[in-house]
Amino acid sequence: MNSSADRLTSKALVAFAIIYFVWGSTFLAIRIGVREFPPLVMASLRFLVAGIVLCLWVLARGERFPNRREWAGAALLSIPLFVLDYGLVFWAEKRVPSGLTAIMLATIPAFMALSEIVLLRTQRLTVRLALALLVGVVGVGTLMSHSLYLGSAAIDKTGAAALVTASMSWAIGSTLTRKVPLPSSKVVSSGVQMLAGGFFLTLAAAVFGEFRGFDPFRISAAAWISLAYLTIAGSVVAFTAYLWLIHHESPTKVGTYAYVNPVIAVLLGYFFGGEGLGMRTVLGAALVLISVFVIVTGGSKKGAAASVAETTANAAS
């Protein structure tokens, strides 16, 4: 009996380590890749391959594949979740350090809370939530302000605007997941959304002319390794670990990745990406993560942590 419990605990520790460190490191991997890859091309390759792998996996397991309505729902969701969110993230990382990107995307729970208030009306604006949102806004403002003398450069405003838009797009897409028909299996649903997202990102890359002059043979091994890491480790392995955790641990515990990943990303960017770690970054990150913590641990009937854990997994993958 104890042996079985110990094995379960060991698996949980490994799974938590994976979603903390793998998802936290994907931001630096994107930063490395987009130095050479056109951003939309890289994003499209990542999700086309990851979508194909997940779809083949569910077919091999004999799971029911989506019907026409579910494919349509997945295709609709892939636009805000993958084309807008990930397309803008990959594009922004040509301008914004990976650690700051992770901090900006940590605002997703705040935008999700606003979506639930405005669109779904499943949550009301309490004093606690309003203060948490205000703290998050101040944190983002700290990162963007050129008037604060905090010893490091402010975040690129165009890149920051793209990341705020990406966070809003993810929050809106996550809200829509409750309104459109999707496969009941999370693996099937994620696989077809990634596949559709990869297809639409390929179209977007073509529309914006990213394939003109793109020569895959001129891409370095480091950039290809970063793409492979994002695809296999970030989108397949870590997502599988997440699915296992959500069935064996409380959503509150699983939802902690929402504020652990940015810390990992900032540290990796500093130690391995040559990114700065000045007072501006530390203060802005602290304010944003305090905001996220208050929102995630807030007290809706279902529990904010459960909502975050169930609907933002792809945002990290």
Compute the CA torsion angle 252, 313, 299, 164 (nearest 10 deg).
Answer: 140
8 Å CB contact between 98 and 159: no
The mean per-residue pLDDT over the stretch 200-229 comes to 96
What pTM value is reported for the model? 0.89
- Over residues 227-237, the mean pLDDT reads 95
Structure-token pair, residue 30:
């994107």
Check residue 315 and give its pLDDT. 52
| pLDDT band for position 181 (cuts 50, 70, 90) | very high
313 pLDDT exceeds 80?
Answer: no
Length of the chain counted residue by residue: 317
Q: What is the mean pLDDT of residues 243-252?
A: 79
For residue 303, what pLDDT is reported?
47
67-108: per-residue pLDDT in tens?
999 999 999 999 999 999 999 999 999 999 999 999 999 888
Instruction: Inform me whether the pLDDT recorded for 265 exceeds 60.
Output: yes
With contact defined as beta carbons under 8 Å apart, do 112 and 258 qualify? Answer: no
The most confident of 133-142, 199-208, 290-299, by mean pLDDT = 199-208
What radius of gyration do the chain's Cα atoms show?
19
To the nearest whole number, what is the mean pLDDT of the chain? 87
The whole-number average pLDDT for the span 157-172 is 92
Residue 297's pLDDT is 76
Separation CA 235–CA 278 (nearest Å): 31
Per-residue pLDDT at 312 exceeds 90: no
